[in-house]
Amino acid sequence: MKNKGIMKINVCKRLMFAVCFAAGVAVYGQDATGHVNPFLSEFNTPYGVPPFEQITVADYREGFLKGMEEQKQEIDAIVNQRSMPDFENTIVALDRSGAMLNRVAYVFFGQSGCNTNAEMQALEQEMAPLLSAHSDDISLNKRLFQRVKEVYENRAKFNLDKEQAKLLEETYKSFVRSGANLSDADQQKLRALNEKISTLQITFEQNMLKETNAFKLIITDEKDLSGLPASLIAQAAETAKGMGEEGKWVFTLHNPSIMPFLQYADNRALRERIYKAYINRGNNGNDADNKQVVRDLITARLEKAKLMGYEDYASMVLEDRMAKNEKNVYDLLNQLWTPALAKAKEELADIKAEIKREGNDFEPEGWDWRYYFEKAKKHKYDMDENEIRPYLELNNVRDGAFYMAKRLYGITFRPLEYMPKPHPEAQVFECIDKDGKPLGILYFDFFPRASKSGGAWCGEYRPQSYDENGNKVVPVVTIVCNFTKPSAGEPALLSPDEATTLFHEFGHGLHSLFCDVHYTGVSGVPRDFVELPSQIDEHFTFEPEMLQVYAKHYKTGEVMPTELVEKYDKSSKYGQGFATVEYLAASLLDMDFHTLKSVPADMDVMEFEAKTLGDRGLLKQIPSRYRTTYFAHTMGGGYTAGYYSYIWAEVLDCDAFGAYVESGNLFDPEVASKFRKYVLTPGGIDDAMDMYVNFRGKGPDIKWLLEKRGLDTPAPLKQDKE
């Protein structure tokens, strides 16, 4: 997903609407030891990447404070100039303001997601209200807005090109959507709400990380490891050793540990214990409980929406997305819910049959689904995912993604030595375009640790931009994952899902590397479009032509046998009932929270969750992919009233991949060239649907998604354009 890094980076994008990383800043800030704050000048490193090892928490703090001070002076210079407002002296100047603050924010929020500590978290809490206030000081600056408005109202006389016109439009809309037209009294209310929301979102995420790290399932009896793969057992032993529990086995709530445990552990009581710990994160009545945080957060968001003239928060958010309104979102989700739930019930029947096959007579629960589903799949297709892992060695899969990019776009990746890294485990590559020019720097950070948030994401330590002299500044991109960590002396072997995740995040990385815009204000795309570049790459992961290149046994070098490829292909649609239902449940939960027209003061958010999903017939064995108290996508920001975006974009990516299917060439150069030109390169200069139609020649057809997921075709979907 493009979120985690971007989800936090959006905080700084909202601050400034602008970035110019090539702007020079005088060097100052040397402390008594001679240490100079790296943020107070351009980074003196290869490609200008952050000098991670040199940066202290004090440097971040000083950088934030001086960055805000510097941008305030830049804004004052814009509003106090005597020249009449025009595109260059107002819109471009605003877009380029905040260079130092952006430099700090991109690095800090990138690191807070993947390499945090108590000091970083304390600074995050300290800075949240200050950054929120600074953002409001810009977006609610009446004199600044008056200049922006004057340029906007006289835009016809400035002879702007397409990108400039879009920047002007987006800048003006950003002010309006940030409350520039509100009364002074309402602006003060908005300031307070923005500060509250920002602080609550950070608190939610920090609580979630604390809860995830708090639980450990410690096994002392080797019999309790029955059913588990040897690689997982070995990793659990290493985890235990690292925690001072040598001779035991420790399983955690990080996905590479808990998910295979639920999938293979024969001990039902232990599956129940770790499952309940997982789904109750943030719901334990302790100092990391998120229920009150959620209630306060959705209340503050609703108050903000109503202050801005909307009946609910989702209406405000969706206005500038592809979906446009709540009806279109619910129409898509509800269209898929019925066939997905029917498929899930078929899978549940198979699970019950497996339980009976073993001579048991109990009703399956949530902690039984993955375990008995794995048995059902093996019974139906003679397929065990552990047969595939030896062919999915991490570096080979990564190189497979590189191969895909080279075949499609002609680009190459070269490993770099002696480069600053965001973490010692990180890998770093230079991306080179087909004309030999550098496209940017790409980091990979693959494995879980206590200092890293869960999940997988792509972010930027510096986005693509142009300096004041018109020179392109290449991006510094990071892909962060939580893959199964290898045991000592062994390679990292990925599950099929992890391999797909790598291709997914790599797609986000390509989007960042290919972006070529002159203004930061037009670099982004709507949230429900942003997953298209990542999800289309997922389709390549298990294409036979791709597997021949990278899926080689880590011991023998043997390419994955055709019979195994065919078995996996036949079984790949099995389980889509569960996968689709758990995803749709989370999407509906997100929407239901943010379409509320009022929030009772005594609202029990867990009761709300139970009712909103129970009324739709969600099976008790399938929890929402993210339950309320650990649903960081929506409660942490980034995908608020937007978790539906993955399935919305999947309609697009399945149809887009259909262009390759129709051409009969997996690496069709014409299709790839058009995708790069119309989707990956232009940022947000064009309307999202226009970008898609420019590439495909028509709007998307949902049939490709239904075929991919193996769902029955529902009634045609009509989009409300209002």
Q: With beta carbons less than 8 A apart as the criterion, state whether 719 and 331 touch.
A: yes
CA atoms within 13 A of residue 351's CA, in its CB half-sphere? 26
Q: Which pairing describes strands 438-445 and 476-480: parallel, antiparallel, or unpaired? A: parallel
What is the amino acid identity at position 92? Answer: V
Residue 709 to residue 712: CA distance in whole angstroms: 9
Nearest Cα residue to 557 out of 345, 369, 340, 396: 396
Q: With beta carbons less than 8 A apart as the criterion, state whether 336 and 632 touch.
A: no
Nearest Cα residue to 660 out of 672, 651, 650: 672
Nearest Cα residue to 650 out of 706, 699, 610, 694: 706
Q: With beta carbons less than 8 A apart as the criterion, state whether 480 and 113 touch.
A: yes
Residue 148 to residue 86: CA distance in whole angstroms: 8
Residue 358 to residue 381: CA distance in whole angstroms: 18
Cα dihedral 260, 263, 265, 269, rounded to 10, equals: 110
Residue 720 to residue 704: CA distance in whole angstroms: 21
Residue 452 to residue 116: CA distance in whole angstroms: 7
List CB contacts of 498: < 8 A, sequence separation 6 or more.
256, 392, 481, 483, 484
Whether 538 is a known active-site residue: answer no
Nearest Cα residue to 675 out of 464, 527, 534: 534
Alpha-carbon torsion (352, 353, 354, 355), positive or negative = positive
Distances from the Cα of 49 to the Cα of 317, 470, 568, 711, angstroms: 33, 20, 41, 46
Nearest Cα residue to 307 out of 199, 196, 138, 178: 178
List CB contacts of 296: < 8 A, sequence separation 6 or more.
196, 200
Residue 441 to residue 49: CA distance in whole angstroms: 8
CA 29 to chain centre: 35
Angle at 415 between CA 413 and CA 417, to 5 degrees: 155
Residue 440 to residue 118: CA distance in whole angstroms: 32
Residue 231 to residue 393: CA distance in whole angstroms: 13
Residue 60 to residue 56: CA distance in whole angstroms: 7
Q: With beta carbons less than 8 A apart as the criterion, state whether 458 and 5 touch.
A: yes
**Which DSSP string corresponds to 606-618?**
HHHHHHHHHTTT-
Q: With beta carbons less than 8 A apart as the criterion, state whether 311 and 596 touch.
A: no
Residue 507 to residue 243: CA distance in whole angstroms: 36
Residue 295 to residue 283: CA distance in whole angstroms: 13
Q: Of 70, 124, 460, 505, which residue is the catalytic one?
A: 505
Q: State the Rg of the chain over Cα.
A: 25
Distances from the Cα of 437 to the Cα of 27, 444, 473, 627, angstroms: 30, 21, 12, 45
Residue 196 to residue 213: CA distance in whole angstroms: 26
Catalytic residue positions? 505
